Chain A
Amino acid sequence: MAEAMRQINPEVVAAFPITPSTQVIEDFAKFVADARVDTELVTVESEHSAMSACIGASLSGARAMTATSSQGLALMWEMLYIASSMRQPIMMTLVNRALAGGINIHCDHGDSMGARDAGWIQIYSENNQEAYDNMVMAPAIAENAGVRLPIMVCQDGFIISHSIETMQIEDDEGVRSFIGERLTEHSLLDTDNPASWGALDLADYYIEHKRAQIDAMANAKTVIQEVSERFNEQFGRKYELFESYRLEDAERVIVAISSVSGEIKQTIDTLREKGEKVGLLKIRVFRPFPYDEIREALKNAGIVAVLDRSASFGAYGPLFGEIRTALADLENPPMTYNRTFGLGGRETFPSDIADIFAESERYLQGGKIEKVSDILNVRGD
């Protein structure tokens, strides 16, 4: 991630250290100290200030980036909305970590899922290669004139952020030509053309501004596809709105986000060898959510188990809600159920995934979902 940030060479990075995202900024600070980037690194006193500094920098026309996790994102909350409503293409590396209470440094998606309505584009990465690639694509997506929205590139804390993998880093020239220059319509520093930002916006205009944000987010879906296509042409790695893994003829499907997909793919390969028709739909873009494309991809499935790595207390998991909504318009929608897993870093093994596929088989044969929602690997159940 730090490597992608070095190649993007943003004018401003403002960040406050928090495990497990600290490593990103530590590595990046070294690039600053070694003069390998031109970045002004602002070591702020809190994440609220980090996001505020990014907003100010971005309003002046600078590329601005930050990195955070968990409580850090929570402390940015107020400013996340300011960034998106001011339509500033700020980039964030989010290393997913559980939220306190119960102080926990390990992975779940409670932090970013809580921010899903903050108006940020959210892209999730299964491994380090994807995190790097998604970050390289981030400026071109966020800064597109029809989009102009902030973007967070998410990866799983520790499982991915602190693991060593072989990966392909592209050369600096290639990346820089890919991302190009940021163009701005209005700059805070342009004293010849004074403008005002952050004005009062009441019942006569607020809803029109929100309408424009909704439109920008809808445009982001097309732009993400175009940028991913261009990335594939230049670097030879193909990305879509989601990944379909052995999905084409799959009767039983799991939908999941980020690193757990590795275990799921491994399990699918084993079961496929035995002739079982199982597959995975791995979410990459969660905001904007690709309802139509997902509906199309899952229309022939018999049963879909949705894995949520965060809890929405008093409701189904956030991913499950989206998937069921996407499928509801089908004439014969597949059966669906929800499993919450991995909160606070609780391990999930390939055997757990095999159990889910077995459970799906049972439900499919019996024609009935016995338990719509449940939590995996919790003691006492």
Chain B
Amino acid sequence: MSDNKYKLKDWQDLPKGGVIPEGGNAADYETGTWRTKRPVWKEENCIHCMTCWTFCPEEAYKLRDGETKSGKPRKEIKEVDYYHCKGCGLCAKECPINKKGDKTAIDMHHEET
């Protein structure tokens, strides 16, 4: 598809009955515009338990390949994708480091307006 992908279509050009004849195109939807609070991930305190990645409804935690202290390959958190993160705060709520309470691995900051 060309640059026109996001141009709103005329009624004649729509598939009948509102069907979306394409898989996985929720990825194109910028839920990041909904965000009023921004999760800030702190690598230094993260144990890469994947809880935030599991709970995030927008699959906004991006992964990278890494390894454990003993050298076994594993997936690690790489960054938050702010195009999709809608600021719901679930990740910060569920993070076990945050729950323990002496330090945090995800902080929720108000978005600058």
- Chain A residues packing against B (C-beta within 8 Å): 85-88, 148, 185-186, 193-199, 201, 204-205, 208-209, 211-212, 215-216
Contact = CB atoms under 8 A, between A and B. Distances in A.
Contacts of A212: 11-12, 14, 16
Contacts of B9: 208
Interface residues of B, number: 16
Interface centre among A86, A193, A194, A196 (most CB of B within 10 A): A196
Main secondary structure of the interface of A (DSSP, over half): loop
Interface stretch (B19-27, B33-41, B96-104): B19-27
B18 A186 contact: no
Contact of A87 (B10, B16, B20, B21): B16
Contacts of B11: 208-209, 211-212, 215
Contacts of B24: 194
B8 A186 contact: no
Contacts of B22: 194-195
B71 interface: no
B16 A196 contact: no
26 contacts: A86-B18, A87-B17, A88-B17, A148-B17, A185-B16, A185-B19, A185-B21, A186-B21, A193-B21, A194-B22, A195-B20, A195-B21, A196-B20, A196-B23, A197-B17, A197-B19, A197-B20, A199-B20, A205-B8, A205-B18, A208-B9, A209-B11, A212-B11, A212-B12, A212-B14, A215-B11
B23 A208 contact: no
B18 A199 contact: yes
A340 B70 CA distance: 86
Contacts, number: 56
A198 B19 CA distance: 7
A218 to B, nearest CB: 13
A136 B23 CA distance: 37
A127 to B, nearest CB: 34
B16 to A, nearest CB: 4
A219 to B, nearest CB: 12
B19 A209 contact: no
Nearest to B22: A195
Contacts of B20: 195-197, 199
Contacts of B16: 87, 148, 185, 212, 216
Contact of A205 (B14, B19, B23): B14
A208 B21 contact: no
Question: What 10 pairs across the A-B complex have the smallest Cβ distances?
Answer: A87-B17, A194-B23, A208-B11, A196-B20, A211-B11, A86-B17, A87-B16, A195-B21, A212-B11, A209-B18
B17 A208 contact: no
Contact of A209 (B14, B21, B23): B14
Given A208-B9, A208-B11, A209-B11, A197 B23 contact: no
Contacts of A88: 17
Given A88-B17, A205-B14, A209-B11, 20 more contacts: A86-B17, A86-B18, A87-B17, A148-B16, A186-B19, A194-B22, A196-B23, A197-B17, A197-B20, A198-B18, A204-B8, A205-B8, A205-B18, A208-B10, A208-B14, A209-B17, A211-B11, A212-B11, A212-B12, A216-B16
A148 B15 CA distance: 12
Contacts of A87: 16-17
Nearest to B17: A87
Contacts of A85: 17-18
Contacts of B17: 85-88, 148, 197, 209
Given A208-B10, A208-B11, A201 B21 contact: no
Contacts of B12: 212
A137 to B, nearest CB: 21
Interface centre among A204, A205, A211, A212 (most CB of B within 10 A): A212
Nearest to A204: B8
Interface centre among B10, B12, B15, B17 (most CB of A within 10 A): B17
A282 to B, nearest CB: 32
Contacts of A193: 21
A195 B12 CA distance: 19
Contacts of A211: 11
B26 to A, nearest CB: 9
Contacts of B21: 185-186, 193, 195
A88 B12 CA distance: 18
B8 A197 contact: no
Interface centre among B11, B20, B23 (most CB of A within 10 A): B11
Interface in B81-100: none
Nearest to A193: B21
